[in-house]
Each structure stands twice: as C-alpha cells, then as structure tokens.
A and B are shown apart, each in its own frame.
Chain A
C-alpha cells in the first residue's frame, strides 16, 4: 500500500494507506483511548471512546474503524471529544460497582485510567446499581459481572485468538452479559462454567476487573509486587512471562504470572501454564534443606557444608577408585544453558566421564547435522508469526506448544498464511489448515520418504493416498515455507524430511521439543557423544583445552544398564527424574552412590544418598534456548529460603572434590561480574555468598557462582552461540544457528522420549502445581463437561 499523508492534532503524519487511524496515532505517540479495540482482533466500534473529530465529517468518528486517507485532518483531543468520552464513562460508571479498592485490576485498570483522565467523578443517578454476584467459571477464571463494560475483547480473544469460542454474549441491551459455554441451566450444580483451554487470555485482555484469575484474585495489589520478566519454565516455546513477586517471611513468593506488557517473543500470548503454573515454586512439598542418607537408610537433614563435603569426598573416592567411566551424570531440560554447560564440563573435567545424558524430547543432533553448513535455514519462533506458508509434520502444537499454535492461528487469520498439516491424529490446529493430511499410524517415516520421492511409501504414509499427491504438490509449490517438525520424526526420517525441505529454496525448519530448555540441554552437550555445539567428543576442536575423554560415554539407558550390572559407582542427577520417566527399578541403583539436585522428593530423589534442595528456573538467572533456537534471558523472580541454584551446587561439589574452581568457572574475567543481580536484590543471598567467598579468600564481587562467567566461555567455545550480550541483557531474543562440526556415529541412538504433556500437565513439575491439578480435575469432571459436549 502506498503511503498517505494526513494531519493529527496539527502534526503531519505518514502511514500506509489502509492503516487504521487509531494505529497510526499510536505509532506517532498520540494516545487515542479505546476499550473495545484490540490489535489483531476484529473491529467492534462498540465503546465509542476512540471518537475523534475529522474535518468534513458531520459527526465524531471512531478512530478504530477509520482508515487514514490522504489529506485527512484529525483532532483527537478537543473539549467536544473530551465531553463525549466523559459522558461515555459516566454511563459506564453508572452501574459500575466502583470497588476499585478491592478489585484486582485497581491500579492497572483502563476504566480507572480513563476516569482519572476525563474526570467523570460525580454520579448523575439516584437509582441503585445493578448488582450480580461474582461467578466462578473455572478454577482459574472468575467473572464479576457488575465490573464488565462489555467491550467483547474476551469473546473475540477466545474465539478469534484461541479458536475456542467458549465465551459469548447473552441477552440484549442493558441485560447483555458475557456468558461462558456451560450455562447454569445445563450444569449439574446450576452454576455457569467454562469448558475451554483455561488459557486465561480473556483475563489479560479484559481492560477492567471483570475477569479475574483464580490464582491471583484478592491476593495483593499490583504496586505491592515486583514485576520480573523471565521465561516460562514449561514448554519448548520459551514465552516470556512477567511474574509478580512479593516478599514473604521465607523469601519471595510469586503471586501472579501474566503478559500484559506484551514485550516478549510471545506478543499477546500466554497459556494456562505460563500464566498460572508458577505455583509449584510455592509448594509446601519443596525440599528446603540438604539431606544425607544414613547407614540405617533414613535421610537426615544436615548443613550445607556437611552435605557438600560428604558428596564431594564420596565422589572423589569413587572416581579415584573405580574411574570416571563408572560415574553417570543426568541433567535436566529446565536448567539454564550455563548450568547445563557447567554440568557437562563438571562431568567431563572433574568426574572424568562422558556418561552424560538428559531426557531427550527431540532429535536435535540429527537436526543440527543435517542443517550443518546451511545459512538461514532454521526458523526463529518469530517466523511462525509472519511466514506465508507453514507445513507442520507431527506434533500437536495446541497442546504441546501452545504459543506456536497461537502464532500459526494468528498468521492464518491476519496474514492469510497457508497452513499444511500432516499428522497421524486429527489435531485441533487442522481447523486453520488449508490442507490436512491424515497419516497412517507410524506413518511419519513413510511420509518423509514419500515427500523425498519414494512413491512406494505412499500406502504406508496415509490411507488417503489420493490426497497425498495434492498435498505434496501444494507444499512443493510454496516458495517460502516454514517446516515445523514434531518429535515423532527422528534420525533417518528427520533427515529425509529436512533434505526434502532443503529442495525448496525458501524453506526454514524448526524441530519442536517439550521443555523450556530441551534445546539448550542438547546444545550444551548433555549428551554422551557430543560436546556443546554438537562437537563430537572424539574430535573436540576448541574444547581440546578441557582434556575431555575422547570415547563416547554411556547414554541414558546404558547408564542404568551399567547400574544393573553393578558397574555404576555413582550417579549425579540434576533436575531430572529418570527413575520415573524411564521406569527404572530402584533396586538397580542399590549399589550406586546417588546425588540428586531437586526441588521435590521425586522417585529419583527418594533413592538418593545426598539430596541438594534446588532452586527452579524462576529463582535464578541465566539463559535458555527454545525449540527454535532463540536464546533468551531468564531472571530471578521468586526465592525460597533453604534452596540454592544448581549452578552454585555444582561448583561447591567440585570444590569439595578438590577441583580447581577457577578452571571450572573462569570467573572475574567476563564483561559483567555478578553483584548479586542474578540472585535477585531481594534475596539477601548476596550476603551469604559474600561470607563463603571471603572465607575462601575470593573477591566477593567476582563470584564463581556467576553464570555470566560461563556464558563468556559458551560464547567463546560453543559454535553458534557467539551472541550479542547486550541484546540478551536487554531482554531481546536472539536466534542461533546450529553448526554441527562433523558427522555423528551413524549407529547412535536418538533415544527421544516425548513428554506426552498436554495443556494441563508438565512432566514431574506439573504434579506439584496445585493449579494444574485443579484444572485437570475440573476439565476431567465428566458430568459437567460431557453435558456441554452433548449440548453442542
């Protein structure tokens, strides 16, 4: 569209023709207030707050529905306009309860802001206000009808944005009301309820306090919290979540998660888990003191010093007596990159073993190797918002990567993107697809072969063979194509699919995994045969300085097989629950010295000899890499007395083993030393560290627990990770290109085990989130939900 020039409040502005006046004003820094307008959702023109005066128009016009035009002359603030807005506010406030002092939205309410601005201070009416009791629509969504101003943002967000359509409007006129999809008359308890994805997007979109969060309501006021922007710990999308944090007697409690400032990679979006499932951090079940198993088999609470000394001494003895190869190390998918890097470095240089693995949820090794040497072929998450065509093979983004699903829906809705989906299941996202191809069970490999040109695979790829050709031809005809790949495709299948995609010049790829730093765990070398950056252990390149063992170590399953044979002297587990995940018989580890760093008494922790209480991702600083390879900063939000970061604990154990801490963490040399920031100003931890540092003749302000020191090393040594530190610190995401150096052993096992999580589960962590349990139970309440389904 060509640009047009127009005048707003005397300022000459230029914008592409067709731009809505309200957006053009916003871009120029001129605020036009609006309740119902919401960028990206359909236009309403219902609230009449955005009225402006346009020359030659007889009446005030709504800026939200008026496209800018050449020569248009607009006034956005005149006494006439102010009066119109004031009158609208007076009408709204007529029935509004004015319960701002107890309303969750007080302090961040658009109605409140507008009332302050336009001064609709005195009531014109003598009649009683219409009052209705609040309604609990679900464990996480409450509705206060008297506060509702009927802007319909929630209705559109739920329908257009989420493709759920759980909210609607009932009645008309002054009786009009927002209503959820299980009406009271159909509900066993005679109360209205919501059957939906429980994402809470309606709450974020609500400009007032009509929709409130079940986990946050009446807990605190916005100005009593610190607001910390960090990355959600749950799925592989890596959405930003802003955590509201309040001091408590034993640390800092997270009381709210939301995304109101929309500053993250995820734009408007946040799902159920990102919004509410921080509550595991506040769980009473957390381990808050180190525990050491006694000779009678019981676990005893000991001091940190004692626990570190015990673990360090024992590991040193076992390494020296039975060799590093007798020790296994298992890392987690929710560690920071710095912690994952440090863990593998600790394993390889201190414990002297390559027996390192993590719960792999996607085959990133193959992904990196097939794309090695290619430039601009990996997709950033941001590409899913804008690409003109997208092919999704496998996976179920709606359930496993809700942010990806949101982006794809938005891309289809706003950019008319063409979405192609091939899946063995009828996933929900097919509703936005231009073409959906139902694959036969286990048909992904055959489908990849078919795409690659092997027509004999057709019948094994899909029973709908007639649709296959059309699907393939449509995909191949795309010039710019984003190919999103589910974790079902691994090894040779994955390779075949990517190689097919590479024949399309404008194709980009992403491989979807299940946890916030699954990609980072692989990138950082929590693998038996790969150093960070997919550098083979046999050919360590720049990692030669670390003198790592050159033989590939044992993978996850081999580690436990070794334990069963009695060949595993020690197992060091950080932020992982392999015993439950791989269904390991605890008896296999009876002769193994097990050290576990964990938040909860998981199945793995239960058999540990030493348990270190660990901080979670919301309680530490560092960086994480999402499924797409976008690197982002995490910041410390919550705090719990009695826990420490995995980073610190690894360093302390290494120290107790007699390792050179300065070699493990090259601290004090980076661009930014840690001055307590990564641990949070409110924590009081800085002082505690200072005591330890001083006792060890170290400079307190240059700490070996500084993740930035390791980030320096990551930037220096890990291929693809040489990022701009300033961008990272500014909270911006940076896309990384994998650059595998050499081919892997063709016989290596991919060992991918998808988490199988849905919207309301999150691995082991999900069990400790009261909210997720509530919502699971609620959505599984068959009398309630089935009645609704029957009514459809």
Chain B
C-alpha cells in the first residue's frame, strides 16, 4: 500500500478514513459508516437532492457539473428501471485520486451509490472500475460482499422496504470508456464508443433506463455531505465550488501524493508548500494542472485558485485534479509527444478528426523528436489540433487537441530550437516508437 502523505493545509472530508483500515466494514461502521444512508432513508429523496444542491458539489470527473442538479434531472416516473453508475474508469494520465478511495474507503463508494439510488428512485447500482484496477476491484468486490452479508444491500435495506443492489464491473483497458456514454456501452457488453447526445443519460442511459452516472469521488463525497450538511460542505470551498477535492500532485516535486485541499486553494501553494516545492531545487518549467488533457501553465501563470471557474479564467481546466509538475530538465517536445501518444493510442476511432488527427500529430511529433522535423511541422501540428478542437464526436478529441495547442503555443520557440538542433532539456524517458495494433 503506497504511503499516505499529509499536510496541515489539508481539509480531510473524503479522506477522513484513509489509512484507518476502513476497507474493513466493521471499521467503516465504527467511523460513522452507513449512517448517511440511513439518514437519507429517513429524510427522503427531496432532502437528499436539496442537500446535494446546497453543498455546491461539482462533478469530480473533470467536467464540474453540479451533482445535485444532475440527480434532479432524472424523471421521477419511468417505465424502465433507473440506474446509478459509478465511473471508476480513472484513466486520465496524472490522475490517481479515485484509486486511493477504492483502496482506503471502498464502503464510501457503496454508501454514496446507495444515496444516489435513493435520491433518484433506483434499485440498482453499478461500480465500474478501469481494467487496470483489477486489484482494486477485489477490494471493491469484498466490500460489496460484506455489505450484502450485513444486509445493507439487497432486499429491504435498513428496514426501509426499499431494495438496492450493486454490481461491480471491470473495464477492458480503454481510456475512452471514461466518457459516460461509452462506459454504458462497455457495461452493456458492446464496443466502448460514445453515444449520440441527446438523449442524455438522465433520460436514456444504461439499458435505455434513466441513469445517474458520477465519478467515484463525487459519489464517495455524498455520505460526508449528508452527515455534515450541504451548507457546511459548501463553506469549505470557494464561490460556486463547494467542498474539498483530492488533488494528485506528481512529477518533479519533493512530496508527491494525493492531498485533499479545499476548492479554490492556490495552485502555487499546492506545489511549493503542500508538495514541498520542486525536487532537488531545480527550476519549475511548466505545470499540467488537471490531468494530461489540460492546457499547460507556465511558472508565471500558476498563481491561481484550484477551482473550476478560476482555472477556466486562466485558460486551462481544473480537470481531474491530477497536477503534473515539470522541472527545467523536461523536454516539452518529448512531453508533447508522450501526451499525444497516449491519446492516439486511446482514441476509439469512431470519428475522423480524433482518429486521424491524433495519429498524424503523433507521427509528426515522432519525426520531430527523432530529428527529422521542420518549422512547417510545428505549424502543421497546430493546424491539426485547431481543426480537431470542437469537431470531434466526444471530448477525447478536445482532450488531445487542448494540451497539444498549449505546448506548441507556449513553447513554440523550444520546438523551433529543437528542430534546429538546440535541444532543450534532456530526455528522462526514452520514447519508443509505439507500435500500435496495426
């Protein structure tokens, strides 16, 4: 089990039970576990949704959609069964926050799923973990089995007369399936490609039924919110960004790890105070603030609050909370290539701009990286990325284009110097020519 990190500035809400053995159901119960769901049963769906709305909780997957509002979109009456879906397909490079939840507090996910189910009138929840999290799936499966053994799941939960079942499912290793409708396709046993929207999942989701799909962290926050109250939770965060969030700080920092910080916490402080500053006293070169799809920030741009609105104002995104810190030794050309290689590999291939665009950007950057580039290539990469932006079927295309645009715009000179032979930075990892399946 990785070592847990901590810092005095942290506000421990969701990470409250981390490191205390809460994967064990008795320990979880001892730490106020399964109280929130009983309160939810007692207070009823409207109270749950109002509390969630008051909490200002916004989707922790990266899009930041208000959770209470999302739950309220599900029609009260439905001919088809309603479902709760937990998106644990945490695949954004630099992101490792759901990982620690599954590891340290799996019952919070179960309890949150039940709460969402109560809120929308669903009897069935699915917890979907990325294929690479099979070892965490075992923990989740045990937690679900324990909850059934205690009678918390199944028929007549907590004597309420309501039923609720949970099924766990592992993906097969596709980033694309983190997109909510692709996840549903995958869960239904089909190719993991996104669906056309509208209709949105709240109306037509899994197996055609109304579905709430939330990120695992969002779901795991719900029990805490119900216990502490929506307003209390909202107060912790910044304006229109309620509560706390798990930030995974990685890269060239002294103390990398997952920290729970209030929404709106300053990014610069997060890097220099919380994570202990740049490793080995080197100079900061760039920060990827919220997972690899977020446009890169220069050192002079990081004095900004970590919430959805402030980050958008800074021209980037809060994203999935995976902060990647790059020091002066990093070659941006290489970093850009590694980034696009990921998206090229993970593009589902459904639509042309993403399928072909990621491929050509990768091919071009590979050639540049190997010393065969020309200035025209930089312009070409920018052209490709610009023409992918907003044109693809799902956000994966944007996720590939945004960081690429960030790199070529903010580090254009480095690209040009690299092409002319003045290579900046020293490669830290050898990039192999990725041989795809083709």
Are B346 and A173 in contact (CB-based, < 8 A)?
Answer: yes
Are A127 and B364 in contact (CB-based, < 8 A)?
Answer: yes
* A53 smallest CB distance to B (angstroms): 12
Given A125-B363, A125-B364, CB of A130 within 8 Å of CB of B438: yes
B191 surroundings in chain A (CB, below 8 A) = 169
B19 at the interface (CB under 8 A from A): no
Give Cα A58–Cα B352 distance, bound, in whole angstroms: 20
Are A173 and B390 in contact (CB-based, < 8 A)?
Answer: no
Give Cα A45–Cα B392 distance, bound, in whole angstroms: 9
Given A60-B391, A84-B387, CB of A46 within 8 Å of CB of B351: yes
Interface magnitude class on chain A = 20 to 34
Are B352 and A172 in contact (CB-based, < 8 A)?
Answer: no
Are A174 and B438 in contact (CB-based, < 8 A)?
Answer: yes
| Shortest Cβ distance from B372 into A: residue | A126
A171 surroundings in chain B (CB, below 8 A) = 349, 437-438
Among B347, B351, B384, the one with the most A-chain Cβ atoms within 10 Å of its Cβ is: B351
* A214 smallest CB distance to B (angstroms): 26
Are A173 and B349 in contact (CB-based, < 8 A)?
Answer: yes
Are B364 and A172 in contact (CB-based, < 8 A)?
Answer: no
Are B356 and A175 in contact (CB-based, < 8 A)?
Answer: no
Q: Which of A708-751 contact B (CB under 8 A)?
A: none
A87 surroundings in chain B (CB, below 8 A) = 353, 383-384, 387, 391
B372 surroundings in chain A (CB, below 8 A) = 126
From B347, B363, B367, A173 is in contact (CB under 8 Å) with: B347
* A637 smallest CB distance to B (angstroms): 38
Q: Which of A647-693 contact B (CB under 8 A)?
A: none
Given A46-B351, A172-B349, A174-B358, CB of A88 within 8 Å of CB of B391: yes
From A92, A124, A127, A169, B352 is in contact (CB under 8 Å) with: A92
A150 at the interface (CB under 8 A from B): yes
Q: How many A-B residue pairs have CB under 8 A?
A: 109
Are A172 and B174 in contact (CB-based, < 8 A)?
Answer: yes
Are A88 and B353 in contact (CB-based, < 8 A)?
Answer: yes
Given A46-B393, A48-B392, A48-B393, CB of A91 within 8 Å of CB of B437: no
Given A46-B393, A83-B387, A88-B352, CB of A174 within 8 Å of CB of B380: no
A125 surroundings in chain B (CB, below 8 A) = 360, 363-364, 380
A222 at the interface (CB under 8 A from B): no
Are B391 and A172 in contact (CB-based, < 8 A)?
Answer: no
Q: Which of B344-388 contact A (CB under 8 A)?
A: 344-353, 355-360, 363-364, 367, 372, 380, 383-384, 387
A47 at the interface (CB under 8 A from B): yes
Q: Which of B20-39 contact A (CB under 8 A)?
A: none
From A43, A65, A174, B356 is in contact (CB under 8 Å) with: A174
Are B391 and A150 in contact (CB-based, < 8 A)?
Answer: no
A130 surroundings in chain B (CB, below 8 A) = 438
Give Cα A149–Cα B176 distance, bound, in whole angstroms: 20
B196 at the interface (CB under 8 A from A): yes
A59 at the interface (CB under 8 A from B): yes
| Shortest Cβ distance from B398 into A: residue | A59
* A84 smallest CB distance to B (angstroms): 6
A47 surroundings in chain B (CB, below 8 A) = 351-352
* B394 smallest CB distance to A (angstroms): 10
B351 surroundings in chain A (CB, below 8 A) = 45-48
Are A91 and B353 in contact (CB-based, < 8 A)?
Answer: yes
* B366 smallest CB distance to A (angstroms): 9
Are A94 and B356 in contact (CB-based, < 8 A)?
Answer: yes
* B314 smallest CB distance to A (angstroms): 20
CB-CB nearest 7 A-B residue pairs: A176-B349, A87-B387, A91-B356, A175-B438, A174-B359, A173-B347, A175-B437
Residues of B at the A interface (CB closer than 8 Å) are 174, 176, 191, 196, 344-353, 355-360, 363-364, 367, 372, 380, 383-384, 387, 390-393, 436-438
Q: List 7 A-B contacts (CB under 8 A).
A: A48-B353, A65-B196, A150-B349, A150-B355, A173-B346, A173-B359, A175-B349
Question: What 4 new A-B contacts, CB under 8 Å, besides A46-B393, A91-B352?
Answer: A44-B350, A124-B384, A169-B349, A172-B437
